Structure 1
Amino acid sequence: MEVPAIYAIAAGGIFLALFLIQTRHVLFHWTESISVLLSGYLTLPDLVRRHRILGPWSRAGVLLHVSYIAVNIALVFFRTESLVDSGRRASELALINIVFPLSAAHLSFLAGLLGISWRSCCKIHRATGWMAVALLSFHIIAELLGQTLNFPLRETRNLLTVIGASVLGILAFFSIPYFRRWSYEIFLRSHQIFAGVFVYGTLQHLPSHSGSARLYVYVTLSILGLTTLLELVIILYRNGIFSGRGAPRAFISFSSRNIRRESFCNTTAANIQIILPRPVQVEPGQYINLWMPAVSLWSWTQTHPFTVTSWSKGKQDTLKLLVQPRKGFSANLVRRGALPTDSLISFLALFTGPHGITEDVDSYETTLIIATEFGIVTSIPYLKKIIYGYNTCTSHTRRLHLVWQVDSIGVCIYYDPFLDPS
């Protein structure tokens, strides 16, 4: 390239950069306007309302899912000469689609890496997983109809392939919301085990000369290995395992109320304070996954997400949680506390996170917070941040409205200690 041409490109690049810097404010204004427009017509209105099995689906969600399905169908039949070719194309597309579901061991960590919410990450995980199941089902049907399948089960390789395909079907069947709600802990661990069996069966099924198909699986496993290693390093660092300061410790007390002025006490919440060996920064709306192996017999296999109710401008060396007793882990936790519930117990605790995204509430003059019953707990960090910003004149907030819906006014008395701004 000639020297004058290099000089002209450099000068043009400088002028283009200055022009973009000058117009960035205009672009940002238009971006905000388009975002509000899309939210009003595509994101907020529900096309399918909430149901026990389906929904809620917004217009944008339906449009994205339909487009995603249409693209995969078009690629399956694009320039294929026979049904068998389309089936083999579908198998390769299925291997590409499973890259996302197998990218990390925990969706919370993957959502944090991508900068999206856990709910959005779950939707992508579910959509790509079901698409992989549909494509692999089409691949099997195409091979059977094409009468090209030579599959003696006496060979170990073929038997493992059948086991992998069967496990995928079982995995998809038990992903129905009914089974997830029945026992989420069992569903989660079996889901991860079945996914591992499916990947192993897929590797056994793929011939050694299928370079591209094996490459997709190896890329998936490499991403999984890297994210798992990164998550493990972050967990060890934030929990101070090798810092010489000891592991985190959870100190638990219980809030209770008298029922009908009798001596019987009903526990309304477990107050957990986690003393950290290394301070962490937690923003409002974020949560941690807590692991306390000594709570019950099977608690060592379980991690549970809890919203952090404490907030400070800097890093925190003590995290506060409020846990509502229900069933499973929280019920076992309450049973470990002796009555009357004014005692203090402690457990070894490890955590992952903080996970989740936070909403910017500093740029608005008026803030409206809506909560129901125990959901007020998730609003406490936002309330603390808004009050701090108002007192220090570091935010634009001037008016704060809190709408708290409860079944009875007496509930507010029981929850009042939880709203302590300390």
Structure 2
Amino acid sequence: MEFEKRHGSSSSMDLFYEALNDDLARYSLLALGCAAAAYYIWQLTVRFSDHLRRLSTFNDDSQRYFVPAHEKFSWIKNHLIYAPMFRNRHNRELQLSQAINMGTLPSRFHGLLVTGVVAMNVILCVVTVPYASDESTTAGIVRNRTGTMATVNLIPLVLMAGRNNPLIAMLHVPFDTWNLLHRWLGRIVVCEALAHTFAWAIPKAQDASWSAVGEYITGSSFLTAGLVTTCTSVALLVHSPSPIRHAFYETFLHLHIALAAVCMGFLWVHLNGYAAQKYLLGAIILWALERATRLFIIIYRNLGRASTTATIESMPGDAMRITLRLARPWKFRPGQHIYLYIPAVGLWTSHPFSVGWSEDEDKMSDEKSLPMAHQDLIGAPQQTTLSLLVRRRTGMTDKLYQRAADAMGGRITLRAFAEGPYGNIHTMDSYGTVMLFAGGVGITHHVPFVRHLVAGFADGTVAARRVTLVWIIQSPEHLEWIRPWMTSILAMDRRREVLRIMLFVTRPRNTKEIQSPSATVQMFPGRPNIDTLVGMEVENQIGAMGVLVCGNGSLSDDVRRVCRKRQSKSNLDYVEESFSW
């Protein structure tokens, strides 16, 4: 056996522990699968309940039955699901300076998930180890156990990192949460790899010397591949902390992928002949499938008789409105986002953006032809246009803004590739009262929800009877960002009966420019009092209430705090749209 060649003669006890290690690796996957299955059942229950609530409101405008809070569930939401790890801070970034970003704190629920994953790995790495035996036997078992666990954890590690992770849609868990778990599981894998390496090296050094350990490694391709695997895994950990990741994201991303490929390649050589190699094969297959899926989506969405183009228009306040004309029709739903590639500016790099508006246009093949008959218009091919609102930052967005601003008329058209759609795990259709808080370009995420809910109210397909949009901007000039979209919404049938818009301008040039166009569209100077606004909606609440927020970390944490405080008073759900990287 390969094991005998590398470690000396094999005994029945060695074979027993090898089989046990394989069983424990399977148990770890089984435990994660059972947790996912339990959460899936819970999500099915919640979705079915929301569906029944929406159906029951079609003939009941008061929706009184759904206003009171469920005592036990509201306590769970207040103290676990919505609760930050400490006090009120969750999504507001920890910054040592303007250049050093330490990331965000996980929520209490996320902390529980991370603790559970860490505890499971610690238990599986130390259980059944015969510590009373001689040191070499104990070290050998720990070595093999940690190596097997590090390898099997690559399967969920790769799965959690993918944009096309099927569990996102199945469990309605956002990519943001999977990204958090991916980072922590990666740290666990590195710790297990280090434990595996030192459990081999220390006994060898005790028997001979550290120089002898070096000779062992250089004289064996098996040991050399293992050392390179451990070193690359440590390099993956060292270059991944939040300050480095945020300061040099593009460099981090490409280096991360390259190091991961090198790590898996040398690990394959190291595991040749071992049972754990099948777990590495599973991780490689998942990685290859995810990459192939992304490539297929990009080709299918953007290449056809025509190609996808992006019209970039510079806007006030260092913002851009990007209109994508897709090569093929695209069914868009509120809450979705895309990854945008513009090779002329960012080469092969992509960035995620929420889709703010979508329309289907008739493609006229020949502008000089005679007017088409009605039957021809019905059968005419459709072209989908998606509109994005992007704030100028650094890197790709800065270059893109400069090119648009320098172009004639502040507008430029470039070849583009759109990957997606992703997201849409939240629906607001079953809530009688909906509040939408947006800060700056966060309005992009909310506009499709407003459009959908107003149309649904007119058609009688949603439960919404009160929809309040609160948008916080720095200057009245920022209203130009969404003026064409909001003009369409304000002209919708029965809009005045359901929609109220409140605009808060934090840095007006003078108070005279703050004028409310109507009773349903109001403008105010300064920042909103979140507690007062949510309290007013709770007092007039119709049915269950859903609060959706998309903005900076401070806004999200303020809305979260207020919603937690009112859990015992009414049936109120809090939804946060965020993207951590």
Paired residues in the alignment total: 378
More off after superposition, 318-327 vs 110-119: 110-119
Match of 2:164 in 1: 109
Amino acid at match of 1:219: G
Match of 1:98 in 2: 154
The alpha carbon displacement at 1:216 in A equals 0.9
1:255-300 deviations in Å (ceiling 9; x for gaps): 23xxxxxxxxxx63222111112111121121100111012xxx11
The alpha carbon displacement at 1:316 in A equals 6.8
The alpha carbon displacement at 1:102 in A equals 2.3
Counterparts of 1:316 and 1:361 in 2: how far apart (Å)? Answer: 28
Alignment partner of 1:184 is 2:249? yes
More off after superposition, 92-101 vs 357-366: 357-366
Match of 2:290 in 1: 227
Match of 2:84 in 1: 46
The alpha carbon displacement at 1:303 in A equals 0.6
Q: 2:323 aligns with which of 268, 273, 277?
A: 273
Amino acid at match of 1:198: C
SS, match of residue 47 in structure 1: coil
SS, match of residue 301 in structure 1: coil
Residues 73, 343 of structure 1: alpha-carbon distance in 2 compared, 3 angstrom cutoff: closer
TM-score (structure 2 length as normaliser): 0.60
Q: 2:314 aligns with which of 250, 254, 259?
A: 254
**Given that residues 288 and 352 in structure 1 are in contact (C-alpha distance below 8 angstroms), is that contact kept between their aligned partners in structure 2?**
yes
**Given that residues 311 and 323 in structure 2 are in contact (C-alpha distance below 8 angstroms), is that contact kept between their aligned partners in structure 1?**
yes
Residues 193, 339 of structure 1: alpha-carbon distance in 2 compared, 3 angstrom cutoff: closer
Matches within 5 A, 1:49-128: 49-50=89-90, 51-52=94-95, 53=102, 55-81=104-130, 82-103=138-159, 107-110=162-165, 112=168, 114=170, 115-128=172-185
Match of 2:353 in 1: 306
**Given that residues 112 and 355 in structure 1 are in contact (C-alpha distance below 8 angstroms), is that contact kept between their aligned partners in structure 2?**
no
Counterparts of 2:191 and 2:77 in 1: how far apart (Å)? Answer: 31
Root-mean-square deviation (Å): 3.0
Matches within 5 A, 1:14-413: 28=49, 36-48=74-86, 49-50=89-90, 51-52=94-95, 53=102, 55-81=104-130, 82-103=138-159, 107-110=162-165, 112=168, 114=170, 115-147=172-204, 151-206=216-271, 208-210=272-274, 212-239=275-302, 241=303, 243=304, 245-256=305-316, 268-295=318-345, 299-311=346-358, 317-339=384-406, 342-408=409-475, 410-413=476-479
**Given that residues 254 and 341 in structure 1 are in contact (C-alpha distance below 8 angstroms), is that contact kept between their aligned partners in structure 2?**
no
Residues 313, 40 of structure 1: alpha-carbon distance in 2 compared, 3 angstrom cutoff: farther
Counterparts of 2:405 and 2:356 in 1: how far apart (Å)? Answer: 24
Counterparts of 2:254 and 2:484 in 1: how far apart (Å)? Answer: 33
Counterparts of 1:65 and 1:125 in 2: how far apart (Å)? Answer: 10
1:316-347 deviations in Å (ceiling 9; x for gaps): 71111111112111111122125476243211
With a CA cutoff of 8 Å and minimum separation of 6, indicate the structure with the bigger relative contact order: 2
Amino acid at match of 1:255: M
Counterparts of 1:80 and 1:319 in 2: how far apart (Å)? Answer: 58
**Given that residues 281 and 316 in structure 1 are in contact (C-alpha distance below 8 angstroms), is that contact kept between their aligned partners in structure 2?**
no
Match of 2:486 in 1: 420
**Given that residues 162 and 290 in structure 2 are in contact (C-alpha distance below 8 angstroms), is that contact kept between their aligned partners in structure 1?**
no
Residues 221, 415 of structure 1: alpha-carbon distance in 2 compared, 3 angstrom cutoff: closer
Counterparts of 2:85 and 2:127 in 1: how far apart (Å)? Answer: 31
Identity of aligned residues (%): 24
Counterparts of 2:360 and 2:386 in 1: how far apart (Å)? Answer: 13
TM-score (structure 1 length as normaliser): 0.81
The alpha carbon displacement at 1:229 in A equals 2.4
Counterparts of 2:326 and 2:229 in 1: how far apart (Å)? Answer: 43
Gap regions ≥5 residues in structure 1: 1-23, 257-266
The alpha carbon displacement at 1:167 in A equals 1.6
Match of 2:492 in 1: none
1:181-216 deviations in Å (ceiling 9; x for gaps): 11111111100000001111112222x331x21111
Match of 1:11 in 2: none
1:94-130 deviations in Å (ceiling 9; x for gaps): 11111122238x6322264654311011012112111
Gap regions ≥5 residues in structure 2: 1-44, 51-68, 96-101, 131-137, 208-212, 362-381, 489-581
Counterparts of 2:298 and 2:117 in 1: how far apart (Å)? Answer: 35
SS, match of residue 278 in structure 1: coil
Counterparts of 2:73 and 2:409 in 1: how far apart (Å)? Answer: 50
Residues 418, 96 of structure 1: alpha-carbon distance in 2 compared, 3 angstrom cutoff: farther
